[in-house]
Structure 1
Amino acid sequence: MSRDRQLVNLFLSLNDSVVTFNNKVHVFIDGKKKFDKLIDDINHATDHVYIEYYSFYADNLGKRVLAALEDAAARGVKVRVLYDLSGSHGTTFKFFKHLEELGGEAQAFIAAAKAYFQTPRLNYHLHRKLAIIDGKIGYIGGFNIGDQYLGEDPKFGYWRDTHLRVVGQATMMMTVRFAMDWNTTCRKTHKKKIDLEKEFKNFELVAPDGDPDEVPMQIVSSGPDNENYSIRRGYESIISSARKYVYIQSPYLIPEDSVLEALVIAARSGIDVRIMIPCMPDHPFVYRATEYYAKYLVNNGVKVYKYNNGFIHSKTMVSGSNIASVGSANMDYRSFRLNFEVNAFAYNEKLTAQLKQDFENDMKKSTLLTTEYFANQSKWRKFKQHFSRLLSPIL
């Protein structure tokens, strides 16, 4: 059985993830281009716009996106916004007041207005990044809504991320994910739920037609609401079945033991395993823990690169001729067990080649970490790495 077929079967079993075939995909690695296109798509929406982001900041970009959503609502488009209260620091319910006055709706995931400090779910975050326009266009990847994702935060500089714009039936699978999250939150807020039967009234899966530009795709989600660990097990499957190479980009490298061992076994078996991480922290303890695991992996034959051209936030994995994953899930314990995540797993030679080339282009702006690099670090830095590693399950 081929590797892609094995992966398809895995996600059908774990996540009921249907494969759709007639998808055209555009890759964005620059935030300005991604959000210009997203806003343009919102401006041309005729039926509905669904937005689901971990961070929806009330800054310049947030206001631009909100203005487009307000214009859409004003012309009769159904607008729904779902965001994570913790991830959207400084964004209050008042930010969306005018949108709601125009007929749009916005709510924080599984949290009523006064529930933030009362809910037992404080450690569970909606980390997904989705946008669905008219059930025809979908966005999935790593960019959040905020100025720093345009590279406008001097602390981080250029922001390197990966997001997909999908035109095709995979967008309807994103709609299912959004609707489930929206409807779950409605139990607290008492807003109107989405009727999925109505959304799928005229939906029929399209069979593949052999077009090399069409991308077979599964939309796979995971979270603390179940113990299937679909994305983590998908990652493990790709790593353990690799025959030549696995390239991974992640801002955080704090893998569970099963993933860690899969990476080591692959590298020790002669597979070209490469991982790219940032050159700077956005969370100090997380970065020191990332350095700890990077050192361990380097000592076991994995090639770890430190991206130097700003901050890399991309969450991608590519392997073989036609396997790729892009989404919100980092290579860490939080994404595997605590966060609500969603990834696109795609099976297409052209898309895989493009993402592989993007990784190789980023290598030119990166430093390959060596055993000498870690050996020359100060004792204090090594102590922080070991201490942060002890906190891995809660970082």
Structure 2
Amino acid sequence: MADLNLFAGEIAGVIFKLIYFGAIIGTITVVILDNRNPVKTMAWILILMFLPLVGLVFYFFFGRSTRRERIISKKTYNRLMKKPIAEYLAQENSSYPQMYARLIELFKETNQALPFEGNRMEIFTEGYAKLQALIQQLYRAKHHIHMEYYIIEDDAVGRLIRDVLIDKAREGVEVRVVYDDVGCWHVPGSFFEEMKNAGIEVRAFLKVRFPLFTSKVNYRNHRKIVVIDGRIGFVGGMNLAERYLRGFAWGEWRDTHIMIEGKAVHGLQTAFLLDWYFVDSTLITSSRYFPRIESCGDSMAQIVTSDPIGPWKEIMQGLVMAISQAQKYFYIQTPYFLPTEPILAALQTAALSGVDVRLMLPAQADNRITHLGSFSYLKDVMSAGVKVYFYRRGFLHSKLMVADDYLATVGSTNVDFRSFEHNFEVNAFVYDTQTALAMKEVFLNDQRKCSQVFLKNWIKRPLKQRAAESVVRLLAPLL
């Protein structure tokens, strides 16, 4: 009997090994056949080969691609776009700025991002001002409020906005809220239930629950969008949480957000309603949500979105073109710098050709791993002539870019693999001298609170630190 049990155990062990190694080999085959970025493919293969059990778990949760899936049919999407297209075509004497005509066309072709003229922009660089302006506009709402955030905390700020939304819902204003399920994972259900009980329509984006815990955890809605009556919109880097106002014990929280008044709000509305269809299976196309708006400023703007589902990487492709077209300067603020190869090459090429390229990062960040990974790329860009600055007053979370006194972009997109390939993101691309100069001044004012990093000193940092950075860099496509 003992021999029989021993034999059965050996058979079971052999079967387990066959299944185990078969799963690893099968997963590696799937990764290769998926035809992804070679850097990302090699990163997954290395993990699966040297840390097979960990690699299988991570691939199941974070690695599977859904880029070939569709959120919405073309016919349904055309119905949603009917009103914005009509407003776009109604613009009189509309002409693109010559230098950015190709960039605008790129966004129109890949993202159906329509360029709208006659917008007014208001820039916020700290949380209190943005929160005050948001509350003022929310209380002025007459018809609807559409709100979408990656993070809505159950703290003083989150509860304040929740109470404002409840007040407006009780007045008869339509209120719809989308929050990311992972971004709000630790928020108690009672927080959102209170809104629902007041008549607010609340939906979680890509809900993740056991035992249906799947790769949905890897595809997060990182957008921050507010649309009020189809006329006022907010977009940028700030979520709804106290830390966006108070910062950390070790420093302030520096961020950038904008309020848009004008026809470009149609782009924010379209982005929100597309996400609403995704979470609620309800298509909202009524003209009430796309009111006729008269010109109220001098800015031309496009609202550009990107996601892990469509065939293109719209924001990344647009940034590559914008960097490549820069003639005098291109300034970037980003909390994380884990660039894809096209972005890295574009920055190096621009700097080598004489463009004043400046990159601003936080000296201290909220995520040590991604911060180490960011450091690993700095020698690459500084060697090409990119000027690098470390923000010393706190955590720089701003996602701002400005070029040649005419182009500026603000939104939710970081310069990293996650934003470009995995997240649902949104940026406003603004073509206007006044706005660009204002954004440039924001950057230069922040630069006064920075220390510049010089290549000759950077290459002398300890071997232990450089080794840690290099290890993290291997995993950069997966972070």
TM-score > 0.5, shorter chain as reference:
yes
Q: Deviations over 1:288-313 (max 9, x none)?
A: 01001122211221101000111111
Aligned match for 1:110, one of 197, 200, 206: 206
The correspondence of residues 173-252 of structure 1 with structure 2, limited to 5 A, is 173-187=267-281, 193-199=282-288, 203=291, 213-252=297-336
Instruction: Summarize deviations over 1:210-245 as a string: whole Å, max 9, x none.
Output: x8x421100000010112111001101111011111
2 CA distance for matches of 1:3 and 1:88? 41
1:18 match: 114
Partner amino acid, structure 1, of 2:159: K
Alignment counterpart, residue 261 of structure 1, candidates 311, 334, 345? 345
Partner of 2:142: 46
Maintained 8 Å contact 2:220/2:423: yes
Contact kept in structure 2, 1:58 and 1:91, CA below 8 Å? yes
Provide the residue aligned with 2:474 in structure 1.
390
State whether residues 248 and 394 of structure 2, in contact with CA within 8 Å, keep that contact through their aligned partners in structure 1: no
Q: Residue 186 of structure 2: which of 87, 90, 93 is its match?
A: 90
Tell me the residue number matched to 2:259: 165
Q: Is residue 72 from structure 1 mapped to residue 168 from structure 2 by the alignment? A: yes
With normalisation by structure 2, the TM-score equals 0.77
Matched AA of 2:226: A
Q: CA deviation at 1:199?
A: 4.0
Partner of residue 126 from structure 2, selected from 11, 30, 44:
30
1:366-377 alignment to 2 at 5 Å? 366-377=450-461
The CA deviation at 1:47 is 1.0
Aligned to 2:10: none
- Aligned pairs for 1:244-323 within 5 A: 244-323=328-407
On the 8 A contact 1:111/1:185 being kept in 2, the answer is no
Q: What is the alpha-carbon distance in structure 1 between the residues aligned to residue 211 and residue 319 of structure 2?
A: 32
CA distance in 2: counterparts of 1:75 and 1:98, whole angstroms: 16
The aligned amino acid for 1:88 is C
> Which of 236, 244, 249 lines up with 1:154 in the alignment?
249
Shift, 1:115, TM fit? 6.1
> C-alpha distance in 1, partners of 2:439/2:136?
24
Distance in 2, Cα, partners of 1:327 & 1:269:
28
CA contact (8 A) 1:147 1:153 kept: no
Amino acid in the other structure paired with 1:104: I
Please report how far the alpha carbon of residue 141 of structure 1 lies from its aligned counterpart in structure 2 after TM superposition.
0.5
- Letter of the 2:275 partner, please give it: D
Gaps of 5+ in 2: 1-96
SS at match of 1:196: coil
Structure 1 position 117, deviation (Å): 5.0
Asked whether 1:145 is paired with 2:240, we answer yes
Post-superposition CA distance 1:302-333 (Å, at most 9, x none): 10100011111111111113111110111111
Q: For residue 368 of structure 1, give the secondary structure of its aligned residue in structure 2.
A: strand
Please give the alpha-carbon distance, in whole angstroms, between the structure 2 residues aligned to 1:335 and 1:152. 23
**Alignment gaps of 5+ in structure 1:** 188-192
Q: Secondary structure at the match of 1:22?
A: strand
**TM-score after normalising by structure 1:** 0.93
- In 2, Cα distance between equivalents of 1:194 and 1:162: 31
For 1:327-371, what per-residue CA distance to the aligned partner results, in whole angstroms no more than 9, with x for missing partners?
Answer: 011111111100000000010000000001111111100011111
Secondary structure of the structure 1 residue equivalent to 2:125: strand
Spell out the pairing of 1:329-348 with structure 2 (5 A cutoff): 329-348=413-432
Q: Which amino acid aligns with 1:175?
A: Q
Distance in 1 between the 2:197 and 2:329 partners? 52
Take 1:130 and 1:69, find their aligned partners in 2: how far apart are those partners? 15
Contact 1:222-1:341 within 8 A present in 2 as well: yes
Distance 1:264 1:173 in 2: 32
Percent identity of equivalent pairs? 35
SS in 2 for 1:23: strand
After TM superposition, the runs of 4+ consecutive aligned structure 1 residues lying more than 2 A away are 114-120, 197-200, 202-206
Distance 1:293 1:304 in 2: 11
Tell me, yes or no, if the aligned pair for 1:20 and 1:205 is still in contact at 8 Å. Answer: no
CA offsets 1:161-189 (integer angstroms, 9 cap, x no match): 111101111112111100110111114xx
Q: 1:103, CA displacement in angstroms? A: 0.7
SS at match of 2:316: helix
2:143 corresponds to which letter in structure 1?
A: D
Q: Tell me, yes or no, if the aligned pair for 1:116 and 1:122 is still in contact at 8 Å.
A: no
| C-alpha distance in structure 2 between counterparts of 1:355 and 1:117, whole Å | 44
Q: In the alignment, which residue of structure 2 is the partner of 1:4?
A: 100
Partners of 1:176 and 1:196 within 8 A in 2: no
Deviation at 1:276, TM superposition (A): 0.3
- Matches of 1:53 and 1:71 in 2, distance apart? 19
Q: Which residue of 1 aligns with 2:69?
A: none
Q: Is the contact between residue 231 and residue 291 of structure 2 (CA under 8 Å) also seen in structure 1?
A: no
The structure with the largest alpha-carbon Rg is 2
Distance 1:152 1:204, change over 3 A: closer
Contact persistence 2:410–2:427 (CA under 8 A):
yes
Q: CA deviation at 1:4?
A: 1.8
Is contact 2:238–2:255 with CA below 8 Å preserved after alignment?
yes
Structure-2 residue corresponding to 1:190: none
How many residues get paired?
A: 383
Deviations 1:133-174 (A, max 9, x none): 11111000110111110024325x211111110111111211
Instruction: Evaluate the alpha carbon distance shift between residue 203 and residue 32 of structure 1 in structure 2; reply closer, same or farther with a 3 A threshold.
Output: closer
